[in-house]
Amino acid sequence: MFTGLIEHLGTVTDIVHDAGGCTLVIADSAPILGDCHVGDSIAVNGACLTVTEFDKQEKGGWFKVWLANETLDRTDLGERKVGDQVNLERAMGAHVRFGGHFVQAHVDTTATIVDKKPDGDSLRILFQLPEPTPERPSLLQYLIPKGYVAIDGTSLTITSVDDANRTFGVMLITHTQEKITLPKKPIGSKVNIEVDMVGKFVEKSVQAALSGGGGPLRSLVEKVVEDVLVKKGLVQ
């Protein structure tokens, strides 16, 4: 579990592709490696990856992760190049403040930056989701104004949603712009998107109740419908 509060920016120093996936080495990462162990989880641009090797001192501190083809297909990590910076966050500790929102670092899809506009010292960025497919349904139902979304692993508040154009927007204050990679990405770049998992749980629970699964939620919905019909005089 992660919070979406980026701890550090690392630098990609080595990339090795093969038929099974890809290995990344991320350097300049010493500030997050002090308590690192092989097998730990680190979110890289919002994707939860397992540390397979690391060194706390060489190259400013580096660690190696393995990306399966599923991860390469779901994220923008396969497009990273040597020298690119990436957002890094360690898995949340039970003793720390929870400042962002519940982030699993299980990327749902990528979106494309379609517009960037300064707004005073802040920066407004507009994203477009891909066309939905049977394999990858639309995520728009999980995006609401003032709701949460994780973009490249960063917990951000949604400022606008346009269902017809499959777009949504966020605003970055100056502090956030200095701590993450997103402001440096040009229009046309891809970003990793993880929608709020709470919305997914609510949707599944409602679907189960309304499909005849029974349980307290179905009873509650039936009671609400009955009350509305009574108030309209349609039943007695």
Task: Choose, from 11, 27, 102, 106, the residue flagged as catalytic.
Answer: 106
Highest mean pLDDT among 177-181, 199-203, 206-210 belongs to 177-181
Residue 28 has pLDDT above 90, yes or no: yes
Whether residue 48 lies in the annotated active site: yes
* SS3 call for 68: strand
Task: Choose, from 68, 91, 160, 201, the residue flagged as catalytic.
Answer: 68
Whether residue 201 lies in the annotated active site: no
| pLDDT at 94 (0 to 100) | 67
Task: Choose, from 30, 47, 48, 150, the residue flagged as catalytic.
Answer: 48
> Whole-model pTM?
0.87
Task: Choose, from 52, 122, 157, 160, the residue flagged as catalytic.
Answer: 157
Residue 103 in any domain: the answer is no
User: How many domains is the chain built from?
Assistant: 3
Whether residue 106 lies in the annotated active site: yes
Residues 214 and 185 in one domain: no
Residues 174 and 224 in one domain: no
Whether residue 138 lies in the annotated active site: no
Give 141-199 pLDDT, tens digit per residue: 999 999 999 999 999 999 999 999 999 999 999 999 999 999 999 999 999 999 988 88
Q: For residue 35, what is the domain's CATH number?
A: 2.40.30.20
Residues 114 and 77 in one domain: no
If pLDDT is split at 50, 70 and 90, which confidence band does 209 have?
confident
In the chain, what percentage of residues exceed pLDDT 90?
77
Whether residue 50 lies in the annotated active site: yes
Domain that holds residue 204: 200-228
Residues 209 and 187 in one domain: no
d(CA 8, CA 44): 10
> What integer is the mean pLDDT of 217-224?
75
For residue 202, give the H/E element and its range. Answer: helix 197-208
Helices (H) and strands (E) in the chain, counts: 4, 12
The torsion angles phi and psi of 202, rounded to 5 degrees, stand at -60, -45
If pLDDT is split at 50, 70 and 90, which confidence band does 212 have?
low
> What integer is the mean pLDDT of 20-36?
96
Residues 60 and 134 in one domain: no
Residue 3 in any domain: the answer is no
Residues 185 and 205 in one domain: no
Residues 48 and 122 in one domain: no
